[in-house]
A and B are shown apart, each in its own frame.
Chain A
């Protein structure tokens, strides 16, 4: 069965450093991959999408890479700030007549210390 793995251990980094989160998957051929941010007690919020034919996507301080050979995506936050502390979820998707179906990973909690 398809499996999406994100590091379940929290990632602790110092303010100003670059945070790198990993999303690995098996038994899946996604058409695209999305990253979401989730704060405690809130629903996930969409951040970025990268398609299978794209190697890299950037948005402000965020950068996502997608390697379909390694079956891995890396999510980078440069110049991290305490306000970036949250849980980050990756989600794999493909288009079909049942909608833009997503399968989510378990998320990685990021803690940015001042």
Chain B
């Protein structure tokens, strides 16, 4: 199994440009999450989803939107990129009620906004 796949792996954007990060999981997990990781800040939750067609805000949702039209996919959108959104973005998934197995993370997308 591939687990959690994130595309693209790297991207450079100009301020004001838009883009979509794609996350796909093949484990039939109910829950999916988007985090950003910055030096000294740890992983911070942007948005999450508890099932197909549902999304909710996390700790740092401003400037981002998400969609989960299919159970296996969770998209993160930046409508108008800002330098403060330069970060490494991680998608994760987990199974309902199975915390013993933890989160499965993708390998990340390194985004630079200039």
- When distances are taken between beta carbons in the complex, the residues of chain A under 8 Å from B2 are none
Does the CB pair A95–B108 fall under 8 Å?
no
Contact A36 B108 (CB under 8 A): no
Contact of B99 among A4, A49, A107 (CB under 8 A): A49
Category for how many chain B residues contact A: 20 to 34
Interface hub of B90, B96, B105, B107 (most chain A Cβ within 10 A): B105
**Alpha-carbon separation in the docked complex, A107 to B33 (Å):** 19
Q: Which residues of chain A have C-beta atoms less than 8 A from B72's C-beta?
A: none
A31 to chain B, nearest CB (A): 8
Q: Please tell me the number of chain A residues within 8 Å of chain B, measured between CB atoms.
A: 27
* Bound-complex Cα distance A48 to B87 (A): 27
Give the segment of A13-21, A67-75, A78-86, A98-106 that binds chain B.
A98-106
Contact B50 A106, beta carbon cutoff 8 Å: no
- Asked if A49 and B41 sit within 8 Å, CB to CB, the answer is no
| Residue B73 at the chain A interface, CB threshold 8 Å | no
Is B25 engaged at the interface, CB distance under 8 Å to the other chain?
no
> What 0/1 pattern do residues 79 to 95 of B give for CB contact below 8 A with A?
00000000000101010
Interface residues of B in 20-53 (CB under 8 A from A): 30-31, 33, 35, 40-45, 48, 50
Min CB gap B52→A, angstroms: 14
Chain A residues packing against B (C-beta within 8 Å) = 4, 8, 32, 34, 36, 41-47, 49, 89, 93, 95, 97-107
B residues contacting A by CB (< 8 A) are: 4, 30-31, 33, 35, 40-45, 48, 50, 56, 90, 92, 94, 96-108
